[in-house]
Structure 1
Amino acid sequence: MLLMEKVALLTRQNETFALAMIIESKGSTPRHVGKMIVYRDGTIEGTIGGGLAEHFIIEDSVKAIQNGQSKIVEYKLNNQAKDGIQMNCGGTLRVFIEIYTSRPELVIAGAGHLGYALAKLADFLEYPYCIVDDRMGYCTKERFPNATHLFVNEDIGKAIFAANLNEKSYVVIVTKDGDDMVLKAALQFPIAYVGMVASKRKVIRIFEKLKSEGVTQEQLEQVHSPIGLEMGSETTEEIAISIISEIIKVSKEKKPIKVKQLNG
């Protein structure tokens, strides 16, 4: 597979990575052209010449991924030059490190009016999303034609487990009931975000129940409820916008929820 074909594949798979490309070279350098993919753990595909220069480029690419910002870096391959690296080539490389950041993957628990409005916004933003519900009549391909998956089970806790949550999952709980089961299941995974629509009284009741079942206070403090940014939202569509706005904000912070394995 050609390198740029792999870039296209990784983009379709919604992966986070960097593409490092030589954009200028002067004097003696290991290579004058080259590209390589750098992953978050520092592994690579392709090469821009190997050696110490490539080592520095990998380090800078990993840092750029962590910061979520593309950048141009310059390397002096001369151990005698100020700010040079320990190489004898004597030339200079300029490299563009382009960051490809994964989009939030929404897990919309609840196929009712608010879930439907959230799905429409996800369509507009081109965010991948799946729908979780316990009602066969609501959770359908006709209602959510662009959903990547539909998870339906009379036991909604089992349905959320089937969604295979991960660090890219942004779980939005807008169910008619079963909020506690969905939240308990979601907190057993290193997800990026979980928010729940509920009154203050209901939140207190659910939190007390989950604490009695082994969920920690630290985990519960990471639950967004009331859900969404405070913007005076009233209609279903306005509430959906406030929720998506909060998800966009949280997605820039990139802090997965801490998990604790629970029984049941």
Structure 2
Amino acid sequence: MSAALSRLRAFLAAWPRVALVEVREAKGSTPREAGAWMLVSPGAIFGTIGGGQLEFMAIDRARDMIAAGAPAADILDVPLGPQIGQCCGGRMLVDVALAGEARRAAMLRRIEDEAASRPSVFIFGGGHVGHALAAALALLPLAVTIVETRADQIGDLPEGVEVRLTAVPEEVVRDAPPGSAFLVLTHDHALDFLIVAEALRRADAAYVGMIGSRTKRATFASWYLKEAGGGEGELSRLVCPIGGAEVKDKRPAVIAAMAAAEVMRGLSAS
């Protein structure tokens, strides 16, 4: 079960009366797109339609409907301008409806479907940066897996992050779904090179990144071109060092934040 599905089940179990708020239409500049949704209960919310005054209006309307037990759905047609204190400039149509058993079941199926279609990200190496990456990426709509050769390096991981223990991590690259992202940061440079070489052979990889320095990249490039049979075109897709060179801070959490942005950019472009 995905972390999102687990949280939704817990929310629905805690609140027997909820309303579904969903963006039907979004025109111009808006905080969220059509299809964005949230659930509202008398004392809590699950998800968001973008925040701001529009969301407050939708929450108030949903709670009024819950309190009244209103059977009918409602539609909010809201221009996002100065009159509501939200200056996006677009316009949104938002559906608000009580969520009975059928809608609850539909939302659970929706979360399951969304989880099944999430892009896959594989982190090779469970050290300090690997754990920081897992923590950063677990917050995003991704299927995150840490791949390690050493069981004692796994430790505590965020909810929803999967673990693959294997003596041959490059096989995980070969078996990964199309469009996957690969972040390579093991304890062994030679192992890094083998995994990265395998990832670069996948033309469908959305992102291939390796921790290190410009010197490490140069060493890998020489080996990859001369001994591994790789080409310049494949090599040009390698991001090394991960996280970019603009920020000099090498703390694991900072590297992870910068690399997570790179991964999302790669996935959105693929």
| Contact 2:135/2:157 (<8 A) preserved | no
CA deviation string 1:102-153 (max 9, x = no partner): 544211011111111111112222421111111121236x5455223x2222
**What is the rounded CA distance, in whole Å, between the counterparts of 2:243 and 2:169 in structure 1?**
23
* Distance change >3 Å, CA 185–CA 104, structure 1 → 2: same
TM-score by length of 2: 0.51
Distance across 1 between alignment mates of 2:241 and 2:133:
16
For residue 138 of structure 2, give the secondary structure of its aligned residue in structure 1: helix
The CA RMSD over aligned residues, in Å, is 2.8
- Residue 206 of structure 2 aligns with an amino acid whose one-letter code is A
Quote the residue 2:62 is aligned against. Answer: none
Q: Shift of residue 175 of structure 1?
A: 1.1
Q: Is the 8 A contact 1:104 1:169 kept in 2?
A: yes
Q: Determine what percentage of the aligned residue pairs are the same residue.
A: 24
Counterpart Cα distance in 2 of 1:110 and 1:158 = 15
Counterpart in the other structure of 1:249: 265
C-alpha distance in 1 between matches for 2:137 and 2:172: 21
1:170 counterpart (181, 198, 205):
181
The correspondence of residues 151-162 of structure 1 with structure 2, limited to 5 A, is 151-161=164-174
Structure number having the greater helix percentage: 2
Task: Kindly tell me the number of residue pairs found equivalent between the two proteins.
Answer: 155
**What does residue 188 of structure 1 align with?**
201
The corresponding residue for 2:154 is 139
- Please name the residue that 2:218 is paired with: 204
Helix, strand or coil at the partner of 1:129: strand
8 Å CA contact retained: 1:133, 1:159: no
Q: Distance in 1 between matches of 2:147 and 2:269?
A: 26
- Aligned partner letter, 1:109: F
Kindly state the Cα deviation for residue 231 of structure 1 after the two structures are TM-superposed: 3.2
- Contact 1:151–1:160 (CA under 8 A) maintained in structure 2: no
- The normalised TM-score by structure 1 is 0.52
Deviations 1:57-81 (A, max 9, x none): xxxxxxxxxxxxxxxxxxxxxxxxx
Contact 2:138 2:159 in 1 (8 A): no
**1:196-233 CA deviation, whole Å, 9 max, x = no partner?**
11122221111211222211110001100121243343
Measured in 2, the distance between the counterparts of 1:248 and 1:145 equals: 20
Separation in 1 of the partners of 2:230 and 2:146? 24
SS in 2 for 1:121: helix
Q: 1:221 is matched by which residue type in structure 2?
A: S
| Match of residue 235 from structure 1 | 251
Mapped contact 1:165–1:191 kept (Cα < 8 A): no
CA distance in 2, matches of 1:250, 1:232: 22
1:207 alignment partner AA: A
Give the Cα–Cα distance (whole angstroms) in 2 for the partners of residues 103 and 228 of structure 1: 22
Residues 139 and 152 of structure 1 are in contact (CA less than 8 Å); yes or no, is this contact kept in structure 2? no
Structure 1 unaligned residues grouped into runs of 5+: 1-7, 9-22, 24-99, 255-264
Q: Secondary structure of the equivalent of 1:166? A: coil
Q: Which amino acid aligns with 1:218?
A: G
Contact 1:165-1:186 within 8 A present in 2 as well = no
Larger CA deviation: 123-132 vs 234-243: 123-132
Please list every run of 5 or more consecutive structure 2 residues that lacks an aligned counterpart in the other structure: 6-24, 26-113
